[in-house]
Amino acid sequence: MVQPRSLLFTTALAVALSSPFVVAGPVQKDGIAVPPNMAGNRDAVKQIFMDSYEAYKQDAWGHDDLAPLSKGFVDSRNGWGATIVDGMSTMSIMGLDNYLGDAIKFASQIDFSKSKTSDSVSVFETTIRYIGGLLSTYELSGRKHPELVDKAKEVADKLAIAWVGDNDIPFGHINFGNNAPDKQNSNIAEAGTLTLEWATLSKYTGDDKYRNLAEKAFRRIATNPSPLPGLPAQGIDPNTGSPVGGYVTWGGGSDSYFEYLIKYARLNNTGEALWADTWKLAVDSSIQTLLKKSTVGDHSYLTDYDSEKRNVYVSSHLACFHGGNWLLGGQLLRNQTVVDVALQLVDACWNTYASTATGIGPEAFAFASVDGNYTAGSAPTPEQQAFYELHGFYPTTGAEYYILRPEVLESNFYAWRVTGDAKYLDRAASAVSSFQKYLKAPVAYAGIQNVNDVNSGKFNDMESFWFAEVLKYLYLTFDDPSHISLDEWVFNTEAHPFQIPPAKGAYGTPSGQTPPSPSQQHPFTPTQAPIPAYSQSPTLPGILHIPEGIIRSVATGILNIIGFQL
Ligand SMILES: *[C@@H]1O[C@H](CO)[C@@H](O)[C@H](O)[C@H]1NC(C)=O
Ligand SMILES: *[C@@H]1O[C@H](CO)[C@@H](O)[C@H](O)[C@H]1NC(C)=O
Ligand SMILES: *[C@@H]1O[C@H](CO)[C@@H](O)[C@H](O)[C@H]1NC(C)=O
């Protein structure tokens, strides 16, 4: 199955000689190996997975998440057993075949025709966790379980109602009771993070409908007018397809739209330049307008940018996927500038872990650069100011928590596979030991309310992305680098890997010939449209405008603990 490297190289060379394009580069560094003294971490991570999953089986089997403090369960993903389906690809990668066999049996019997909890079903969350988990496991199992494709099709056929009539942009939520979309505003992450999964579903069902729907939404976002070249506003109205507001961020509500531009170019592997060109433009624009260095520590961050054209000096755990994503794209496009900036972003995000008492980073943070420190929130408290003077960022008020998110360790994984620098292994090992020390709950593992407090209170919800993302990226960091190579697989935003063919000659148009974006042709004017629905959801200081769906299901229980109501 695996092509010898020499053959890949010969193919690439042939393409290089016959085309004016830059040949796509390999993503992973050749010849890297995990030193023996680090390899033990792989088993430690597998043990964390098994301890977590055993507790889930004991107290929450068939429900979405384990509640590790009360030994109960949480159903925040429509009660279809999110942990089982989201965990399957990791079980396969870790070789946990007993768990996997039962999980596949369970998954093939889910009734997706109705929600077991509220009738409202998120198109985005259901796509990335359930469709992503089902299809990735189908591929990882050597395509031996077509019942997984049938289940993905069953749920996608319901979700397709989100494109009522002829709209380009799907509504974010569907009522599975009466099959009607909830006609509220959506955002570019919800609408633009469907292509990998829906195109893969088309591939295995032979029905182009799924890919066409997802591409239609993606294409509309990429060609709408935008506040900055390549950087669309977070809000979007599915009724009209038009942008809502003018808020730009690489964080929640926008994040995985950018992520999928380059990943879809790689998965699809055809000549359409739009995806890679738009990604390049987004990165270029971000380097020009959003990239700032902190006055303390010289750390590199991407600011947000508001509808009054102000940089907002905040970032977040969710945004920290950007380093890994820029490494992937920078390698594919052979752009060393992008790779170098990406590694600075990876370092700055890791610094948010290295600087706290637990060695784990906060949900959101703020910083200052020589040209500004506007955060849209209140001025830093004396404690925050003091923290900033030491560390070059400070956790924003109300966002000092960690809820088992992956992004910092995800980017660290890319940095290891791309550079082979052992410092990334040390960082991952340090995270494993922090998790063992500070996240242990009565059963399994739990998020913490304050990353800077070694005796912090915990959250009563073990999200399914703990299994799908955090433990998979950590495990693969310590595994043989040729296992799930970044040159053979592309991860969906929930860390479910999809198989990719060898890279083609180049992605996008040759450098310097990127067509002007529509935003340059038609100046962007923020709408005076009704306030986006999601601005009514909890506005945690420092993470503005994060819609309910994109909090990635901070379960109601957690929000109650931190004093918010969804
Ligand atoms: C790539 O996209 C094109 C156009 O939508 C489609 O015809 C083709 O089948 C896609 N290929 C894959 C591998 O998804
Ligand atoms: C590499 O990326 C940078 C930043 O976007 C850009 O300015 C530069 O033109 C790119 N280089 C090439 C050769 O495309
Ligand atoms: C932000 O800027 C103001 C005014 O220049 C200054 O007083 C304040 O200390 C700065 N805050 C930080 C965190 O640098």
- Tens digits of per-residue pLDDT, 95-149? 999 999 999 999 999 999 999 998 899 999 999 999 999 999 999 999 999 999 9
**For residues 314-324, average pLDDT:** 98
- Give the whole-angstrom CA distance, residue 341 versus residue 326: 8
Residue 524's pLDDT is 73
The active-site residue, picked from 64, 363, 463, 487, is: 363
Q: Say how far apart CA 540 and CA 452 lie, in whole Å.
A: 18
Q: What are phi and psi of 72, to 5 degrees?
A: -125, -145
Question: Tokens at residue 489, please?
Answer: 């697989």
Q: Is 407 a catalytic residue?
A: yes
Type and span of the H or E element at 122: strand 120-122
Atom from ligand 1 closest to the CA of residue 267: 13
Query: What pLDDT does residue 511 have?
Result: 63
Q: Which fold has domain 22-514+532-545?
A: Glycosyltransferase (1.50.10)
Other beta carbons within 10 Å of 515: 13
- Cβ atoms of 263 and 556 within 8 Å: the answer is no
The number of the ligand 3 atom at minimal distance from the alpha carbon of 394 is 13
- 229 ligand 3 Cβ < 6 A: no
SS3 for 348? helix
The ligand placed nearest to the CA atom of residue 271 is 1
4 pLDDT higher than 80: no
Protein residue whose Cα sits closest to atom 6 of ligand 2: 284
Reported as a single tens digit per residue, the pLDDT across 163-204 is: 988 899 999 999 999 999 999 999 999 999 999 999 999 999
Alpha carbons 216 and 212: distance in angstroms, whole number: 6
Q: Of all protein residues, whose CA lies closest to atom 14 belonging to ligand 1?
A: 268
As beta bridge partners, residue 301 has 292
Please work out, in degrees rounded to the nearest 5, the angle formed at the alpha carbon of residue 427 by the alpha carbons of 423 and 428. Answer: 120
CA pair distance 70, 59, nearest whole angstrom? 9
3-state secondary structure 37-84: HHHHHHHHHHHHHHHHHHHHHHHHCCCCEEECCCCEEECCCCCCCHHH
Instruction: Tell me how far the alpha carbon of residue 177 is from its chain's centroid.
Output: 29
pLDDT band at 505 (very low <50, low <70, confident <90, very high): confident
Specify the amino acid at residue 181: P
Whether 255 is catalytic? yes
Closest CA to 241 of 222, 265, 261: 222
Full-model pTM: 0.91
Q: Is 314 a pocket residue for ligand 3 (Cβ < 6 Å)?
A: no
Which residues lie with the beta carbon below 6 Å from any ligand 1 atom?
A: 199, 203, 211, 215, 268, 270
Hey, where are the domains in the chain?
1-21+552-566, 22-514+532-545
**Annotation-wise, does 137 bind a ligand?**
no
Query: According to the model, what pLDDT value does residue 270 have?
Result: 78
| Strand duo 304-305 + 311-312: pairing | antiparallel
Residue tagged active-site, from 65, 139, 168, 255: 255
CA of 373 to the centre of ligand 3 (A): 6
Residues 456 and 371 sit within 8 Å (Cβ to Cβ): no
Distance 379 CA to ligand 3 centre (A): 8
74 contacts 557 by C-beta, under 8 angstroms: yes
